[in-house]
């Protein structure tokens, strides 16, 4: 498990960023990095 800590940290960081984007699209949070709406739509 100890050797996987780095991977889990990176996974949690990406998961957190994804959650921030979802909340921002729903108007529940402000994300410092504003992405154009077109870029967000392409990710779906």
Alpha-carbon distance values, 40 to 11, 18, 25 (Å): 20, 11, 9
Q: Which two tokens stand for residue 32?
A: 């410092």
pTM across the whole model:
0.42
The per-residue pLDDT for range 16-32, each reduced to its tens digit, is 998 888 887 777 655 55
For residue 6, what pLDDT is reported? 76
Per-domain residue ranges of the chain: 2-42
Half-sphere exposure of residue 11: CA atoms within 13 angstroms, side-chain side = 5
């Amino acid at each position: 498990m100890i050797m996987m800590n780095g991977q889990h940290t990176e996974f949690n960081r990406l998961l957190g960023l994804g959650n921030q984007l979802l909340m921002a699209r729903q108007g529940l949070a402000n994300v410092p990095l504003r992405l154009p709406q077109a870029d967000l739509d392409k990710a779906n």
